[in-house]
Structure 1
Amino acid sequence: MREHPRVATVITRLEGGAGLVALRCALAQHADSWPITLVTGSAGELVRRAERAGLDVVVEPALRKPIVPWWDLVALFRLTALFVRGEFDVVHTHTAKAGAVGRTAARLSAVPRVVHTYHGFPFHRFQSRWLRLCYTAVERLLGRLTDDVLCVGDGVATEAVRLGLAAPERIRAVGVPVSLESPRANTESRRRARRALRIPEDRLVVGAVGRLTYQKAPEDLVDALARLPRTDVCGVWLGAGELRNRIERLARDRLGDRFVFAGQRSDVAELLPALDVFALPSRYEGLPLAVIEAMLCGLPVVATAVNAVPDLVVTGHNGVLVPPRRPDLLAGAISGLLDDPAERARMGGAGNRGVDGERFGIAAVTRELGFVYRGE
């Protein structure tokens, strides 16, 4: 295989943490003269960012997240034709629907190497047992079509091996790419971020980053903050999503004006210093990019102990882990940190020092991808 194989990166929607990971890797490899084509089902801010950077982007509207057999067959036909025309050496899929349609199309078009990344799983403990079994069976079949299965975080990789989603020797844990130069929280960066979010200097701020979706459980963060006995605490959510209207109403009813919904932002790293505590209330996750960026910023993290999150957060060291769907325990952990500035500073410093550049630096992650694409 040539030194820089021709790669098609396929993702259902270029958004959220998985979208950022796929885009950052594609942009880094594009800058290193790799011939990369990004294939996604819908346009958006990250697609526009890719196009502005000169990346070859194909928007395929038939590639949709919901299971709709007609559109899925159309997407399969069109992706197969695209892979044949493009003479790709590698197809690398991200997320469940792109993984199913993209891997099948890659094999139908005789692409030499097929790679899939699990940013988490399409099945989780809050689904019915029957649905989990169906999803697991499908993923096992798709695993037979896949040369390398990449899992973001050791927790996700361990679960993939346990479930038999592919042969163990074809599964490997990888990091997610972050900018190691992200701004650290200090007096000046905090002042700028709070000014941008219109949050008073005298407030204590607890914030989260992510899409407002069922997975992220934003209602649990609102519930947790409403349980706190103090009224000088403000919540912040950076991100958009289909639950925004409902969660905004809930926050208004429970917290009045003490919750800021900042929407989708391209300057998240610059806004994180506004926070005193970073919160991740998710029902399920992969290896959350937002947690790593919060740690780089020097923030203590209160998170749910799901999937690969314990790879990052160690209770008593750089944050506190709680079970999912327990806003009472989430509130207790947040309250303890808000009441103890010295402990917040200690945990934030430990988190910052614990981000391994060899695992999470953009250069390190894309170098690892190069080995995978060449079959090394």
Structure 2
Amino acid sequence: MRILHIATRHRRGGAERNLVHTALWETRQGHEVHLAVGRDSMLSEIPAALTVHVVPSLVRDLSPVRDLLTLRALRGLISDRRFDIVHTHQSKAGILGRLAARGIAPVIVHTIHMAPFGPAYGTAASAVFVRAERMCARWTDVIVSVGEELRSGNIAAGIGRPAQYTVIRSPIDVAAFVALRARPAEARVTARQRLGIDGSGKLVVVVASLEPRKRVDLIFRELAPLVRGEEVRLAIAGDGPKRDRLSAQAAALKIAGGVHFLGHVSDIPGLLSVADLLVHAATVEGVPQVTVQALAAGVPVVATEMIGLREVPGAAIRIVPSSGDGLRGSVVAALAESPVPVAIDAFDAWTDAGVDRSLAALHERVDTLVDKRRRARRP
């Protein structure tokens, strides 16, 4: 099969890791796999096994002229290369890619990595995206969701039918995180030093792109009294456009000495091995992968309310309102308790083997559809 994945941009997030795992699994099955991405992409992060097509006009923001150019470019690419399956990802590419593939590609698949509507987006924007998603769902053969709550929310919004949906988790290295549960205290001290984190005491970790959606500023405001009182230190793993503003905020709150900006951290197991607690405060997610990783590592989690926090069976995440009210108290309470690790088999669906089984089931379904529709088109 010849498969085209389409994404608005390729960076270092959870959606990109999910896409790469899927695409590489497909190449191992003998499929020819291509990836079309917008210009705001880290091309060096894309595996060499994929044939890459950069679409310069494909951008995140709404832009009627560029969107029409993107639609034309994608339609030409799909027609010229005669792809058997077009698999779209992310909101913008999901809409434009499916519009472009309609009537050309035998099978169309879309993966929802994060809800494109809801309170975090505002009423007008949500209404536009719900309408667009409902329209595109009419000619989408399979809608893949990374979580059950995400799936249920889309169906409740009238986007597609239940039979169109399947849930495929974003893979994590479960074994690497579970192994951290038995890590000795001496190793934690060494790991802290290696990360450049000085001082002792409780360490609260935040893993997030430094962009508005992740709301690291809210975490700073709520936890500032704890940092000033030297009850906790904060380690911030991630980079992004708000880096300088967050540094200035930390200084203004007089917590700069207790906040460690680590930049992009590729070794998340190493980071979580030194964490006493993970805090997550994004406005919207699909299933926040770092919370699953922390739970697998035996690290307790405190988070503001969002979709995807209740996906791991038996996980006791402390969830506070989206406003952040009660975040400080929940952090204090969580740090005062001995963590109770989640049963290891609760993470089976996130293992490579579990995800690969789901991908095999997906392809059994779509490959059969491709064969059926190719035969139907023959004269």
Which residue does the alignment assign to 1:176? Answer: 170
- SS state at 2:318 partner: strand
Which residue does the alignment assign to 1:231? Answer: 230
Which residue does the alignment assign to 1:56? Answer: 51
The structure-2 alpha-carbon separation of the partners of 1:196 and 1:115, relative to structure 1 and needing over 3 Å to count, comes to same
CA deviation string 1:134-186 (max 9, x = no partner)? 22111111111211111111111111110111122112222111122324332
**Contact (CA 8 Å) 2:113, 2:145: kept in 1 or not?**
yes
Which residue does the alignment assign to 1:28? Answer: 25
- Whether 2:146 is the aligned partner of 1:152: answer yes
- SS state at 1:372 partner: helix
The structure-2 alpha-carbon separation of the partners of 1:23 and 1:309, relative to structure 1 and needing over 3 Å to count, comes to same
**Contact (CA 8 Å) 1:17, 1:210: kept in 2 or not?**
no
Deviation at 1:320, TM superposition (A): 0.9
- Whether 2:359 is the aligned partner of 1:369: answer yes
* CA distance in structure 1 between the partners assigned to 2:80 and 2:268 by the alignment: 38
How many residue pairs were aligned? Answer: 359
Listed as ranges, the matches of 1:70-219 within 5 Å are 70-108=65-103, 110-183=104-177, 184-185=179-180, 186-187=183-184, 189-200=187-198, 202-219=200-217
CA deviation string 1:314-360 (max 9, x = no partner)? 6xx5331111121x4111111112233xx23x2xx22x625422x11
Read off the aligned partner of 1:291 and give its amino acid letter.
T
The structure-2 alpha-carbon separation of the partners of 1:127 and 1:333, relative to structure 1 and needing over 3 Å to count, comes to same
Q: Among the aligned pairs, what percent are the same residue?
A: 28
Read off the aligned partner of 1:372 and give its amino acid letter.
L
**Contact (CA 8 Å) 1:6, 1:89: kept in 2 or not?**
yes
Which residue does the alignment assign to 1:301? Answer: 301
* CA distance in structure 1 between the partners assigned to 2:15 and 2:275 by the alignment: 23
The structure-2 alpha-carbon separation of the partners of 1:11 and 1:189, relative to structure 1 and needing over 3 Å to count, comes to farther
List gaps (5 residues or longer) in structure 2: 367-379
Which residue does the alignment assign to 2:376? Answer: none
**Contact (CA 8 Å) 1:90, 1:373: kept in 2 or not?**
no
Which residue does the alignment assign to 1:262? Answer: 262
Which residue does the alignment assign to 2:2? Answer: 6
Read off the aligned partner of 2:336 and give its amino acid letter.
D
- Whether 2:353 is the aligned partner of 1:353: answer no
- SS state at 2:204 partner: strand
Read off the aligned partner of 1:39 and give its amino acid letter.
A
Which residue does the alignment assign to 1:67? Answer: 62
* CA distance in structure 1 between the partners assigned to 2:102 and 2:145 by the alignment: 21
CA deviation string 1:183-239 (max 9, x = no partner)? 433235523431232112513111121212222111111112213273141112211
* CA distance in structure 1 between the partners assigned to 2:258 and 2:313 by the alignment: 27
**Contact (CA 8 Å) 1:151, 1:157: kept in 2 or not?**
yes
Deviation at 1:17, TM superposition (A): 1.4
The structure-2 alpha-carbon separation of the partners of 1:32 and 1:230, relative to structure 1 and needing over 3 Å to count, comes to farther
* CA distance in structure 2 between the partners assigned to 1:274 and 1:21 by the alignment: 26
- SS state at 1:71 partner: helix
Read off the aligned partner of 2:242 and give its amino acid letter.
L
Read off the aligned partner of 2:330 and give its amino acid letter.
A
How big is the alpha-carbon RMSD for the aligned residues of Structure 1 and Structure 2?
2.1
Which residue does the alignment assign to 1:273? Answer: 273
Q: Report which of the two structures shows the higher radius of gyration computed on alpha carbons.
A: 2
**Contact (CA 8 Å) 1:93, 1:99: kept in 2 or not?**
yes
* CA distance in structure 1 between the partners assigned to 2:265 and 2:39 by the alignment: 18
Read off the aligned partner of 1:369 and give its amino acid letter.
L
Which residue does the alignment assign to 1:334? Answer: 331
Read off the aligned partner of 2:359 and give its amino acid letter.
L
Moved more, 132-141 or 364-373: 364-373
Read off the aligned partner of 2:73 and give its amino acid letter.
R
- Whether 2:31 is the aligned partner of 1:41: answer no
* CA distance in structure 1 between the partners assigned to 2:275 and 2:46 by the alignment: 29
What TM-score results when the alignment is normalised by the length of structure 2? 0.88
The structure-2 alpha-carbon separation of the partners of 1:213 and 1:140, relative to structure 1 and needing over 3 Å to count, comes to same
- SS state at 2:36 partner: strand
**Contact (CA 8 Å) 1:153, 1:173: kept in 2 or not?**
yes
Read off the aligned partner of 1:260 and give its amino acid letter.
H
* CA distance in structure 1 between the partners assigned to 2:141 and 2:190 by the alignment: 47
The structure-2 alpha-carbon separation of the partners of 1:87 and 1:211, relative to structure 1 and needing over 3 Å to count, comes to same
- Whether 2:284 is the aligned partner of 1:284: answer yes
The structure-2 alpha-carbon separation of the partners of 1:323 and 1:271, relative to structure 1 and needing over 3 Å to count, comes to same
CA deviation string 1:282-321 (max 9, x = no partner)? 112111111111122221111123112122386xx53311
* CA distance in structure 2 between the partners assigned to 1:67 and 1:22 by the alignment: 23
- SS state at 1:309 partner: coil
**Contact (CA 8 Å) 1:161, 1:171: kept in 2 or not?**
no
**Contact (CA 8 Å) 2:174, 2:347: kept in 1 or not?**
no
List gaps (5 residues or longer) in structure 1: none
* CA distance in structure 2 between the partners assigned to 1:178 and 1:29 by the alignment: 18
Deviation at 1:124, TM superposition (A): 2.0
Moved more, 172-181 or 159-168: 172-181
